[in-house]
Every structure is written in C-alpha cells, then in structure tokens.
Structure 1
Amino acid sequence: MPQVRNPILPGFHADPSILRVGEDYYIAVSTFEWYPGVQIYHSKDLANWDLVKRPLDRKSLLDMRGNPDSCGIWAPCLTHDGEKFWLVYTDVKRKDGSFKDSHNYITTAQAIEGPWSDPVYINSSGFDPSLFHDEDGRKWFVNMIWDHRRRPQTFAGIFLQEYDPVAQTLVGPRKNVFTGTPLGLVEGPHMYKRNGWYYLLTAEGGTAYEHAVSLARSRDIWGPYEIHPQNPVVSSKDAPLAAIQRAGHGDWVETPDGKVYLVHLMGRPIGQKRRCVLGRETSIQEAYWGDDDWLYIKNGPVPSLYVDLPAERDDTNYWAEQKYTFESGLHKDFQWLRTPETERIFSTGSDGKLTLVGREAPGSWFEQALVARRQTHFSYDAETVVDFSPIDERQFAGLTAYYSRFNFFYLTVTAHSDGQRELLIMASEASYPESKLRFPFPEAVQIPNEGKVRLALEIRSEELQFYYAMEGEELKKIGPVFDASIISDECGGHQAHGSFTGAFVGVACSDLNGTALEAKFDHLVYRPVKHVSDRYDV
C-alpha cells in the first residue's frame, strides 16, 4: 500500500470526527469563531480530501457575534444512522471563568450538501458531545460534563442519556458512566459497539503536549467501563522528539474490507520555543483489533508520520500557487469571523473584486470585516492589491496574518489626521498572559492619496516580512522582521490549553468613524514555498 505523510488535513483542522457511508468517507472538524461553522471533508480513499460543506451557514444554525476567541464551534460529531446524517455541535459562548455556556445542538440532513435542518437545542451541561446509534435503533447522547464547583478539576466525566428523535429531547435516566483515567481532563467522547462490547473513546490530558486518546469498554452501555490495558492508545506525551506532537482527540472508522483507521488531532512545533504555527491539524493512523478485542494503533501509541493508506496522495494542488479572484463569489478556502450577516461586511461582484465594508477594529468579537484563508504551509508568500481612500487614522484596510485579537500582524493603508494617506503596520504580539497593540516603527510611510496599493507579506518559518508598492512599481520592504511564531496556539492569549485555532492570512477593513467606508481588493495570492527549515512540511 502507498505510504502517505501526516497530516492528511494540514493547517487548522482540529477535533476530527470520521464517518464512512458506503464507499464515501467524511471528516468533520471544529471551526471555533470562524464562519460558517464546521468543515466537512470528503474522500474515497482516506488519502485525498476535498472540502464539500460548511453546514452551519445561516443565522438560525449559528450566530457567534460576541463569542470570544477560541470559542464558538467545538468538536462536532458527524454520524449516519442508515437514513440520514446527524451533526452534533457545541456553540461555546464563553471560555474563561467557572462557566462555559456551551450550548449543544443537533441538526440533520439527507445529503451531506444539505439542506441541514434548523437546530434542536439539547443542553448546556458540557461540550464535545456525540450521538451513538445503537443496533436496536435507540440513540444515545454522550457528553462530557463540566462541573463549575470543582475547581480546578472541572471535567467531571462522561454522561450518557437517551435521545428521543421524535420528541427531539433527552429522555430517561442520566448517568456518569466514565470519570476518565489518571491522565485527567476527560472530554471528546465517541461511542461504538463491536462483538457485544461498548467502546468509549475519549480525549484526555488537555490540548497541549500531554494530549492523548484513551479507550475504555463495557458489556453494558451503562458501564462499568474498564480501561485499555496499554492506555493511552495514542499520545506523544512521552516522545518529545517525535515529529507529531499534541496528539489526541480521535475517532475511528472501518473500511469495507475490515481495516481500521483512527484520525486524531496533532501539532507540528517549530523552533526552540516549540510553537505550532499551523494550529491543530488532522492526522490518520492505521489500527488493528487484537485477539483480546482491544483496538491498538500500529507502532503506537506514538503516532506515525507515515501511514499506509489505500491510495497515494496527489499533492500537486497543495504546492500550487492560488490566485483568488472574486467573479464567482468567495472561494471555499475563505472564512470570516462570527457573523451570519455577510452583507454587512463583504460582497463580491462581476468585476472580480472583493469589497470589504469598514466595520469594527481588528480583534472585535462582534462585527469585524476580515476575510481570510488558513495558513497550511510553514513558509509562503501572500499578496493583494487594494483600492482604499481613507480620510484619517480611524479608517484602515490591508493585508493581515491573523490568529486572534491577541496575535496578528497587519499592514494597513490609512491616513494621517490631516488626510495624507500612509502605510502603517499594526502588530499585536501577545506574551501570555498580557497582550499589547504596538506600532513597530515611529514614522508611517507616506504614499500618494490616489492609486491602488500593492501589499505583500513573506513568511519563512518563524520570520515575517511585509512589502508594499504603488501600481507599476517594484515591491520594497516595510517594517522590521517579525516573529511569525507568535501567530500560534502557544501564544494565543491563553497558551495552548486555551487557544485552539490556527494562523490565517487575509484582508481586512475597519472604519471607526462609522461611515462604512469600503475597500476593494483585486485578488489575494497565496504562494506556498518549500523552505529548508520546514522539515516536517507535507
């Protein structure tokens, strides 16, 4: 069988839920504050994946305005009961403090492309729920429980309760069936049944370098559940030099010929500070059933960088330059932040341009006009051309490398208070637990008040450099070399245990005067670069 190098979904693709329906495989991943919610990928061979749907794409299904960074959609679970698709998801409204306000919903669809039904609210007692379809037709809601009274051990265990699909509510007794292993922080449950055993796969150890996948089983759905004899089944916690780190939060799938594969999140740290600039990615591992009816990872528990899969991966498109224009709308690679009311922040037209409507400041948790795509390579170039006529310093638009309100670099076209147009770099470089917005050079660069401006950035592993030019001119450097590793989970305002997304690159526009001044972008270029320091790039 061909060997494929992990990750199979590079860049920000956390908390994978995998499913097979006939010959088709699907993976659903978290999207947190990025809209639309949940990314669903499709594959025929487990090696090559294509984004086919973001199902939470209207206000009735999702409105995240006001959600803090790294809140929003956590750990969706995608299943199929033989008749239709079921998607369970959490919309986390806050993350810090004693309460999470984690609202859990269910939506369904006959086809993966939708339409997806209006959501059914289930509860707010915890996050990362899943739905298990038992052989007798009953459906079970499996959910971690957050106990706000038990600081710091607020992860109380995995609760089980039956879901009535007709009444669309939980019914019958509710029980804590599994309190986890000594690894702690039990979450992300998935339930399965095989050979009379109920299996409970969970995430433990937090989301950073102690992360792990744990497995338990019972003959009775209500337990008691015994722990895998070699738990954890997947983890890099004892292998600090392994290529794949932060391995955890998994789900498994069986192929038509009986092989088993487990997907899980992972990270690829760079530099001596071990920062995962690409966020939490999705990896796959070959698994097998032992004679003792326990699932084992081939060569595990440390995940393998190379895995035997049914087909080779075609990386041609992965390394190709992408020049995005907007005649046919927004390309599926792009997302924006929080709001379902897209007409208030951007539009596209037959002129091929992307028009951003100036709204709130960068880092706003409500209405920010920022459209971006994931960083999926350690090194790349990005470039755009903007037509923007600000009248003062409260209006600015440009090119940004963005993680959260705490971590971004932003080259803007703006103006002095006297109306003279200029270029200014905004840099928000969080040093946990503090964050600050700073301007890295004392004098802005004046530019003509008329004419489009070409903006570019270059990232080479841990280094970021901005460039600019007026139309017809060559690009020239502007500002210092920045530490690009700042745009990472480890620096996202709450460190790796509280920052969950990944780096993006895109365009943005703000108008703090409230006049909704528009900025027009001709295109966005994303050009992957093979760089000598990027030894773990796929």
Structure 2
Amino acid sequence: MNNFITNPILPGFNPDPSILRVGEDFYIATSTFEWFPGVQIHHSRDLIHWQLIARPLNSVSHLDMRGNPCSGGVWAPCLSYSEGVFYLIYTDAKSVDGWGFKDTHNYLVTATDLTGKWSEPIYLNSSGFDPSLFHDDDGRKWLVNMLWDYRSVRNLFAGIVLQEYSMKEKKLVGNPVNIFMGSELGITEGPHLYKHNGYYYLMTAEGGTGLHHAVTMARSINIEGPYELDPANPILTSRHDPTLLLQKAGHASLVDTPSGEWYIVHLCGRPIPATGRCILGRETAIQKMIWTEEGWFRLEHGGREPQVKVQAPALSEHKWEPSATRDHFASVKLDMQFATLRIPLGEDMMSLKERPGYLRLKGKESLISTHRQSLVARRQQAFRYTASTFMEFEPDNFQQMAGLVCYYNRQNFYYLRVSHDEHLGKCLGIISAQNMAFNLPIPDIGIDGWKHIFLRAAIDYDQLQFYYAKNEEDWIPIGPVMDASTLSDEFCDGMTFTGAFVGLCCQDMSGGGKHADFDWFEYVEYE
C-alpha cells in the first residue's frame, strides 16, 4: 500500500481539472485547447495511479476547430454524473486575443459510458467561459460560468452567472443571475458549485492562471445567493512563495472518497529553475482537505500552499499497465497518447492502412497553419526524455518536408526535417521558430541516396539536441544545443495556455500531397 500521492498526478499539459467519483471510480477531465480529440479523461481507483481512457470530442460534429487560434478550442471542461448519465460541459473558444471581445461558445454532451459514444452537442450560451453543471438534490440542474464584459471601464471578469438548464427542453431557461462578483483577487473564473450540510459552496479560480493563481470559496444557503466569502481566502495558492515546486496553484475541483475523505485537484506548473519557464505546461495536482467545525474547507496539512507529497486515501492501491515506449503503428487507429491539431486527420492526410505497420502522413499545409496540418504528436510529460523515429521520405522540391518536431504552437517549434535542395538533392536540416522569428541554424546536410533515416530529439530540461543516423546504433548530433524552454507559456507571445509536444509531421506546400512513412515512434522518459 502506497501511503502517499506524488504530485503532479497528471504530468505534462493537463490543465483545468474537473474531478468526479462514481462509486469506487474516480475520473478527471482536463482541457485540450486546439489539440484534437477534445478533452482528456483519466481514470483512477486509488487517486494515485491514473490512466487515460477517453477523449469524448472525437468528431468534427462535436468539435470543429478549423481556423481556431493557438490556445483557443476546448477550455475548462466540467464532468458530472446524475442518474446513470455522464454530463460533459465545455467551451470552444473561437477568439482569444487581447482584452476586448471573446467568442466562447459553451456546449453540453452526454453519455452512459465514458468510453462509448457521446451525444451530439447542445449549444448553451456564449456569455463567458469555464461553464460548469450542478445537479441539485431536488432534481434541478444549474449552469454557472464566468461573465465576460468587453467594456474596458468595467471588470472584464464580471462575475459568475447562474442559469437553470431544462432537461426536457434541452436548453437554458429563465434569466441568468449574477451570483458572485469575486474577491479582491479578481479575474474570477473556473466556477464549480457543491452542496454540503445545507450550504451551497461556490469554488472559483482567481488571480489569473499564472503565478498569482488561487482557489477561493464562498457559500450561501440559497443557490442564487448572497454568497459570503471564506474568511481564510484564498484556500489554496502558491502566489506568496516563488520557491515552491508547484507554482500557479489554482482552478480546482472537489471530490470525496467512499469513506468520506476529501480531496481537491488543481492546476499547477513546475518552472525550470534556470529559466522560470514551465515547459511541461500546466499540470494537475491533488491535495487532501478537511472540513472545519465552522463549515469551511481547508488543506489537511494546514496553510494554503500545495504539497508535492500528499497523504493517500484509505483505498487499495490500483496500478495500471504501463504504456509501451515504442509504437510500431500496428493498429488501424492511432494510440490514445497521440493528438492532432484542430481536426481529425482523414485518409487524405494520414493513413495506417495504406502501408500496414507504418504511419503514412500526406503533406498538407505548413507548421504555421491553423487549418490542415498533417501532424501527429504527444505531450511532453517529463523534464528529460528522448523521442525517436524511423522515416522513409522522397521529396522532390524544397516545399516538401517531413520529420520530427518539438512543438508548442504555430509560432514556436524546433523541426528536424528532411527536404530537397536544388544542389544537395535530398537533405537534412533544422527549422526553428521563436515567436514567429524563423531561423535555419545550420546549413542543410546532403543525404542523397538514403532510403531511410533515423531521427531523434533529446530534451534535458531547457536543452534540446537533435540527432540523426543511417542505422539505429550510430547517432550523430546535428545542429547546436537549442533552448527548449522557449516551448512554454512564459516565452510565447500572446495568450498561451498549452504545453510542449513532440511528434511527426509532413508538409507539401506545392500541393502535390507527397507522403512520408514512419515505421515507429519511440518516447522514453528519464529521471
């Protein structure tokens, strides 16, 4: 029996957790932003070990993100359960830049099986983001979301609004009521409602989703308020101590165990000491909680700061089989660890059938496209890892390229790619991008006549070194050691909320659809 949980429980880009218990099973839904399929759902039986089991928004009818900006798409899902039905609420953010207008469309889908088919989306509203559904014990259902006010003379984060949802009519009914204007921390978002001992408790995220992030609580005997602030707010934050390993603590969700122990899951980030940048993105951690005699919620260990080691619940330990480090693409479906950008890749962009045992990517638009990228990638989930692949590719011109990419968004990536040069023929080189400043750090290397090539990226905290080989034993470094910490929220321009990925891609900007074949992809983490 493991007596402790080690944070984060969901490492790498897994922000805005919404936790749910059904019987003896725990589930966490997290944001996916522009990555497809939308929403990741992890499963646990002990709150220690977690396994990715579902990604519900897996069709264009559920989620069409063509043209969505970077860090748009799926924001802050809420997973709930009532009378045999799972409810998933989510935002599809269509415009996010700046502090003026935002187009944030909120939807509901349902299922009786988390891993099965989900209903088609029901549109709810677009008044703000971070929607959450509360099932009251009288059978009524209520939606809460933050309210966005574009008028700069007022608070853009204009409070938390409540509105009833009608199961019969499949829409919101009645008028929205602003039930909470927030505390002095401001930037009030991420609402969740709970009922405990006759009180409605409203948990919110405040202070912004950076280093001043925090979890605050308020309560009322009436669902429409007025809500009184917890006198100890914020109940969880790392804003006062920059030396804590877990920074950005906020955006939380509450759960109890079958025996009545209480826990809170929350967003966090782990900066690299040398740079202060969180290359793993915003992750999910957990803390043990208690109720006070006065009816407020507190960290069991006291204070308000998140801990790395947390007391585990009185549950039997339940481990999952580890994922294979090397994927040989033997299935006709991509492994669940892989994601694509904004849309699913049809047979016109990707195939696991045309050449069995290979992933075939058919070149489409460039790495800065927000529409049709033939790119397949997985999250970086450790500070140290290697990612390797075996590729066959025969480009005819410089507009055709394929290879291995370390990617944050369309403005920031490092790309080890095979292409074609008029003088060298088939060639290998690197493209780097830092906030849309593109660079070729080395002259291309001629590899004409090579039928295949091995490619590798090795990440050691903020250092990235690419390698290549003609056979798998003789790896040759290529290019300088590059700054991997640029693949982070803190470095990237604009409103950025995701994390670093590593994967495979193919482009053909001449329009010919030239394809690349990948025999396998390997991802190995190191302590």
Instruction: Provide TM-score, normalisation by structure 1.
Output: 0.94
Partner of 1:191: 193
Q: CA 1:400–1:230 in 2, change beyond 3 Å: closer, same or farther?
A: same
Kindly report the root-mean-square deviation, in angstroms, between the aligned alpha carbons of the 2 structures.
Answer: 1.6
- In structure 1, what residue type is equivalent to 2:346? T
**Kept in 1: contact 2:374–2:507 (CA 8 A):** yes
Partner of 1:206: 208
Partner of 1:113: 115
Partner of 2:488: 488
1:418: how far off?
Answer: 4.9
- In structure 1, what residue type is equivalent to 2:452? K
- Residue correspondence of structure 1 range 309-328 to structure 2 within 5 A: 309-310=312-313, 322-328=325-331
- Residue correspondence of structure 1 range 167-316 to structure 2 within 5 A: 167-299=169-301, 300-310=303-313
- In structure 1, what residue type is equivalent to 2:392? D
Cα distance between partner residues in 2 of 1:404 and 1:283: 24
**Kept in 1: contact 2:187–2:207 (CA 8 A):** yes
Please identify, of 294-303 and 390-399, the stretch whose mean Cα deviation from structure 2 is larger: 294-303
**Kept in 1: contact 2:19–2:254 (CA 8 A):** yes
Q: CA 1:418–1:312 in 2, change beyond 3 Å: closer, same or farther?
A: farther
1:472: how far off?
Answer: 6.5
Partner of 2:462: 462
Q: CA 1:522–1:314 in 2, change beyond 3 Å: closer, same or farther?
A: farther
Cα distance between partner residues in 2 of 1:327 and 1:321: 13
1:22: how far off?
Answer: 0.8
1:505: how far off?
Answer: 0.7
**Kept in 1: contact 2:404–2:416 (CA 8 A):** yes
Cα distance between partner residues in 1 of 2:502 and 2:522: 10
Among 331, 337, 345, the alignment partner of 2:335 is 331
Q: CA 1:152–1:379 in 2, change beyond 3 Å: closer, same or farther?
A: farther
**Kept in 1: contact 2:351–2:360 (CA 8 A):** yes
Q: CA 1:273–1:193 in 2, change beyond 3 Å: closer, same or farther?
A: same
Cα distance between partner residues in 2 of 1:316 and 1:49: 7
Per-residue CA deviations over 1:171-202 (Å, capped at 9, x if unaligned) read: 11211100101111000100011111000000
Cα distance between partner residues in 2 of 1:392 and 1:313: 55
Per-residue CA deviations over 1:231-257 (Å, capped at 9, x if unaligned) read: 001100001111110100000001111
**Kept in 2: contact 1:451–1:470 (CA 8 A):** no
Partner SS state of residue 490, structure 1: coil
- In structure 1, what residue type is equivalent to 2:367? P
Cα distance between partner residues in 2 of 1:438 and 1:346: 28
Per-residue CA deviations over 1:406-462 (Å, capped at 9, x if unaligned) read: 2110000001135701111010123xxxx3111112x21111234101111111111
**Kept in 2: contact 1:358–1:509 (CA 8 A):** yes
1:31: how far off?
Answer: 0.4
- In structure 2, what residue type is equivalent to 1:337? L
Gaps of 5+ in 2: none
Cα distance between partner residues in 2 of 1:216 and 1:75: 20
Cα distance between partner residues in 2 of 1:399 and 1:271: 27
Q: CA 1:317–1:278 in 2, change beyond 3 Å: closer, same or farther?
A: farther
1:353: how far off?
Answer: 0.7
Q: How many residues align?
A: 521
Per-residue CA deviations over 1:254-301 (Å, capped at 9, x if unaligned) read: 111111000001000003321001000000000010000111112331
1:86: how far off?
Answer: 0.5
Cα distance between partner residues in 1 of 2:317 and 2:33: 28
Residue 523, structure 1, aligned to residue 520, structure 2: yes
- In structure 2, what residue type is equivalent to 1:502? G
Residue 403, structure 1, aligned to residue 447, structure 2: no
Partner of 1:393: 398
Cα distance between partner residues in 2 of 1:312 and 1:184: 41
Residue 22, structure 1, aligned to residue 23, structure 2: yes
Cα distance between partner residues in 1 of 2:385 and 2:243: 25
**Kept in 2: contact 1:4–1:313 (CA 8 A):** no
**Kept in 2: contact 1:389–1:449 (CA 8 A):** no
Please identify, of 414-423 and 24-33, the stretch whose mean Cα deviation from structure 2 is larger: 414-423
Per-residue CA deviations over 1:452-479 (Å, capped at 9, x if unaligned) read: 0111111111100001112477110110
Per-residue CA deviations over 1:139-195 (Å, capped at 9, x if unaligned) read: 001010101113673110100011111111111121110010111100010001111
Q: CA 1:340–1:527 in 2, change beyond 3 Å: closer, same or farther?
A: closer
Partner SS state of residue 95, structure 2: coil
Partner of 1:33: 34
Partner SS state of residue 492, structure 1: coil
Please identify, of 175-184 and 92-101, the stretch whose mean Cα deviation from structure 2 is larger: 92-101
Partner of 1:369: 374
**Kept in 1: contact 2:424–2:446 (CA 8 A):** no
- In structure 2, what residue type is equivalent to 1:170? L
Cα distance between partner residues in 1 of 2:499 and 2:342: 16
Gaps of 5+ in 1: 531-538
Cα distance between partner residues in 1 of 2:27 and 2:320: 22
**Kept in 2: contact 1:421–1:449 (CA 8 A):** yes
Residue 353, structure 1, aligned to residue 358, structure 2: yes
Q: CA 1:197–1:314 in 2, change beyond 3 Å: closer, same or farther?
A: closer
Partner of 1:79: 80
Cα distance between partner residues in 2 of 1:317 and 1:398: 30
Partner of 1:533: none
- In structure 2, what residue type is equivalent to 1:395? Q
**Kept in 2: contact 1:407–1:491 (CA 8 A):** no
Among 492, 497, 503, the alignment partner of 2:500 is 503
Q: CA 1:448–1:314 in 2, change beyond 3 Å: closer, same or farther?
A: farther
Partner of 1:535: none
Among 358, 380, 385, the alignment partner of 1:380 is 385
Per-residue CA deviations over 1:200-232 (Å, capped at 9, x if unaligned) read: 000111111000111110111111111111100
- In structure 2, what residue type is equivalent to 1:162? E
Partner of 1:123: 125
Per-residue CA deviations over 1:480-529 (Å, capped at 9, x if unaligned) read: 000111111112222xxx21111111001000000111000011111111
Provide runs of 4+ in structure 1 moved above 6 Å.
Answer: 312-318
- In structure 2, what residue type is equivalent to 1:451? K
**Kept in 2: contact 1:200–1:216 (CA 8 A):** yes
- In structure 2, what residue type is equivalent to 1:421? K
- In structure 1, what residue type is equivalent to 2:174? G
- In structure 2, what residue type is equivalent to 1:234? L
Q: CA 1:313–1:409 in 2, change beyond 3 Å: closer, same or farther?
A: farther
Partner of 1:343: 347
1:352: how far off?
Answer: 1.1
- In structure 1, what residue type is equivalent to 2:309? Y
Cα distance between partner residues in 2 of 1:508 and 1:341: 12
Cα distance between partner residues in 2 of 1:397 and 1:106: 38
Q: CA 1:464–1:506 in 2, change beyond 3 Å: closer, same or farther?
A: same
Cα distance between partner residues in 2 of 1:272 and 1:463: 11
Cα distance between partner residues in 2 of 1:408 and 1:340: 21
Partner SS state of residue 342, structure 1: coil
Instruction: Provide TM-score, normalisation by structure 2.
Output: 0.96
Partner of 1:423: 428
- In structure 1, what residue type is equivalent to 2:518? F
**Kept in 2: contact 1:321–1:527 (CA 8 A):** no
